[in-house]
Copies of this chain bind each other. A is one copy, B any other.
Amino acid sequence: MSVGAEQIIAVSGSELDSLADIFKAIGDPGRLKIVHSLLARELCVHELAQTVEMTPSAVSHQLRLLRGLKLVKRRRDGQRIFYSLDDAHISTLLSQALEHVREG
């Protein structure tokens, strides 16, 4: 499903703004760690907090933002709420960016 450069150029202003929102979201170290942690498997808030070394409150705040952008989704299991990636493209995004970093 990849697109050519020609199509990339034809992007509306609002689409660019939406893109910026997504990039800004994973442009924060804490949120990027969260998303990165969810690449492996779904995690509850408590587990995420330990993994990324943030307070549950801070994680919850950031998850709310990520959820608003449809980057993560959640499901309840008893008292816990498990979060997972809501977007198949995210892992591809990360891999592409990773190539840049590792080549640079």
Point out residues on A near B: beta carbons under 8 Å.
Answer: 1-3, 5, 7-9, 11, 15-29, 32-33, 36, 39-40, 70, 87, 89-102, 104
Residue of B nearest to A40 (CB): B9
Interface of A is mostly: helix
A3-B98 contact, Cβ under 8 Å, with A29-B16, A39-B8, A39-B9:
yes
Residue of B nearest to A26 (CB): B23
Q: Report 14 cross-chain contacts, Cβ distance below 8 Å, ordered by A residue.
A: A1-B99, A2-B95, A5-B39, A5-B95, A8-B94, A9-B36, A16-B36, A23-B23, A23-B27, A27-B27, A89-B96, A89-B97, A89-B100, A93-B96
